[in-house]
Each structure stands twice: as structure tokens, then as C-alpha cells.
Structure 1
Amino acid sequence: LPGMGLLAGLILAIGVGLLLNLWLFQRIVDMVEGWLARVPLVKTVLGGIKDLMAFLAKGNKLNAGKKYVVKVDMGNDIHLLGIMTRQDLNGTGLEHMGAGHCAVYVPISYQLGGYTIYLPRSRLTPINISVEDALRFAMTAGMSVEGKSNGVSPGNGQKVLS
């Protein structure tokens, strides 16, 4: 029957979500993660993915007064959309890059990848758009015109990168 695969996938996703909330299943997941954490390359990748997902899951609740989505001025009227991931580089081993430098994640369109760049705050301009909308806009190469979380989008008369 048409649509049965979609229905089965939805039921499976909900079932896995419910299982993850059970204490016994959570212990099993923790045990498997412990095993995976012993494999050098897997440990690095898994840790990075977990940190990124935790950052993105916090969304706009991080600190209400701080702007995390920024416009990166590359000079010659060229700008990049970025997400500030560290306000300073203290305690990272990268302090030699200079005082006032911060870490900014620049997503690449059409994939879940990107670059982390380290640059002075003077090259950044905070913009009023959610992390979710910024990632959606960047990962669809600007084709996403409807903002879902706060209504900021190129389609409603507001400039996303102004």
C-alpha cells in the first residue's frame, strides 16, 4: 500500500524516541557510547557531533541578550553568515591569535559541514535572526524564504543580512 513505508518510519522514529526515555534503555545507550568513546577517531567525531547538537538544541535560549548569528565582513563588500560559538578564545590553546578574537562557525550550503574561523569581533555584525533560521537559510543556499521560528526572512520585507 502506498505510504506504508512512511508510516512505518514514523512509528519507528516515535518508538525509538520513547525507548530513549526509559531508564534501562538509556543505560544501554550510555554503555554503547562508552565503548565507542574508546575508539580514537570515533571518539573525536562523536564528541564533536554531540557538542554541536547540544549547542544547536539550546537555540535562542542560550543568553537572551547576546546575538549569536553574525554577519562576517570579508572585505570588498563580501559577507558570510556565521554563528558565534565562542565569545573569546581563553582556555582553548588558541589565545595566541590575539585578544578580542572569537570563534565563528560558517555553515556550507547543501550539507552539514562548515568552517570554524577565528577573527576579531570588529569584523562581525550581530543580526536579528535565530540560529535555526540562519542554518536553514545557509544550507538551502538562500532558497529558504519563509522563516519558521521568528518570522525573519527575505520574503517578508526584512533583509536577512542587513
Structure 2
Amino acid sequence: MTHLLRRWLIAGMLIWLPLGATLLVIRFVVGLLDTSLLLIPAAYRPDIPGIGVLLSIVLVLGTGAVAANYLGSRLVVWTEALLSRIPLVRTVYGGIKKLAETIFSDQSVSFRQPILIEYPRKGIWSIAFITGAPIGEVQDKTADYVLTCFVPTTPNPTSGFIVLVPEKDIIRLDMSVEDAMRLVISLGVVTPDDMPRKNGDDRS
């Protein structure tokens, strides 16, 4: 009987834990996007849950449309020039803007290539992601051509470590970024189901 109850408990947790975590994340994101309603005077705010999500999407698309034309781009340049003169603001804004440009650029390879590196020591392998190639002093003072790699922590992949790894010591993986992230977040329990086999490897 104890064994049966344990099986039921584990089966129930496998259903409710990911479902509960998903609902919490969705609730957080919706609540965050709903803050865009603060742009509307209190007397005119619609009392509809989630309407802030739609408003946020419209706001982002509208801002992008304005910034894409000539006058809008000139306004953006002028605003950024103004922000660059404010000591603390220019540091924060400049860093976040550079990060966003790196991630969302069509030419960017950041976080588009999961890899294996020997970390934290030789003989132990970790999932990582290529985030770029360092230039200037960092590259000049290394004997090999190195790549900047991000090693995410488990189960929270938003924190982690930046390591500079020689390109020759990197093993590029065939799995997608989503599969690699899923592997990290699940503590290694969830593995890609359709991993391509190499060198005649037919292990199940």
C-alpha cells in the first residue's frame, strides 16, 4: 500500500509541479505587462484582466513603427545622446541596449549555438552557449582564439558564469537552443528525444 501511495504521489507531483510553475510564470508575465495600464488615467482604465498584455504589444509595435522611419530614428538618436550624458543612466541603458542588440540582431550568433565545454575542470563537461568573441585586450593576451561562453546554472538558467574558452576546445552540439535549455532547467531529466546520431551510434 505504501508503495502504491508513493507512486500516486510522484505521478501527481509530475503533473502539478510543472503546471503550477507554468501558471506562476504566466501570472507574473501578465501582471508585469498589465503595468502598462498605468499610462492610462485611472478613470479610463478598463477593468479587464490581461488587457495590459494587449496594450503592451500595441505599445511595443507602435514604438517600433515610429523608430523605423526617418523622423523616429532621429528622435531615438537625440534621446540616446541625451541619456549618454547622465552618468548612471548611460551605464545601465548602454549595457542593456548592447545586450538587446546582440540577442535580437539577425546577424547575431549569441545563444544560437549550444556547446559542450570542460567546466569546472578538465574531464567534467557542462552545457554552455556561445555569446560572442572577445576583442581587444582580452583576445590579444590569450594564446588561442577564444570564444565567450555562458554556462547557465540549474534550475535557474538566468544566472551562470562567463568563461573564455579556446575555440579548439569547444564541442558544438546538434540539439537546438530550446532543447539545451530544457535539459538544463529539468536538472538533466528531460533530454532531446530526436537527437541525431553520429558515427553509427545506435544507443537507445
Deviation at 1:125, TM superposition (A): 0.9
Query: Equivalent residue of 1:98, what SS?
Result: coil
- Counterpart-to-counterpart distance in 2, 1:112 and 1:36: 27
- Counterpart-to-counterpart distance in 2, 1:79 and 1:140: 10
Which amino acid in structure 2 is aligned with residue 117 of structure 1? V
Query: Which has the larger Rg?
Result: 2
After superposing on structure 2, the runs of 4+ consecutive aligned residues of structure 1 that deviate more than 6 Å are: none
The one-character-per-residue Cα deviations of 1:71-92 (angstroms, maximum 9, x if unpaired) are: 1112343313121511xx5x51
The worse-fitting range, judged by mean Cα deviation, of 37-46 and 119-128 is 37-46
Q: Over aligned residues, Cα RMSD in angstroms? A: 3.7
1:81 partnered with 2:125: no
- Counterpart-to-counterpart distance in 2, 1:155 and 1:68: 15
Relative distance call for 1:31 and 1:113 in structure 2 (3 A) is farther
Which amino acid in structure 2 is aligned with residue 48 of structure 1? G
Instruction: Give the strand-richer structure, 1 or 2.
Output: 1
The worse-fitting range, judged by mean Cα deviation, of 23-32 and 69-78 is 69-78
Deviation at 1:113, TM superposition (A): 5.2
Which amino acid in structure 2 is aligned with residue 28 of structure 1? L
* Structure 2 partner of 1:123: 169
TM-score in terms of structure 2 length: 0.52
- Counterpart-to-counterpart distance in 2, 1:21 and 1:139: 38
Structure 1 regions of 5+ residues with no counterpart?
A: 144-152
1:37 partnered with 2:95: no
Deviation at 1:114, TM superposition (A): 4.5
Deviation at 1:116, TM superposition (A): 2.7
Which amino acid in structure 1 is aligned with residue 172 of structure 2? P
The one-character-per-residue Cα deviations of 1:101-146 (angstroms, maximum 9, x if unpaired) are: 413231535465543322323431122345x537x81797248xxx
Relative distance call for 1:101 and 1:12 in structure 2 (3 A) is same
Greater RCO structure (CA 8 Å; 6+ sep): 1
Relative distance call for 1:31 and 1:129 in structure 2 (3 A) is farther
Task: Give runs of aligned pairs for residues 89-104 of structure 1, distance below 5 A.
Answer: 92-95=136-139, 97-104=141-148
* Structure 1 partner of 2:73: 26
Determine if contact 1:100/1:120 at 8 Å carries over to the other structure: yes
Determine if contact 1:84/1:102 at 8 Å carries over to the other structure: no
Which amino acid in structure 2 is aligned with residue 46 of structure 1? Y
TM-score in terms of structure 1 length: 0.62
Deviation at 1:39, TM superposition (A): 3.0
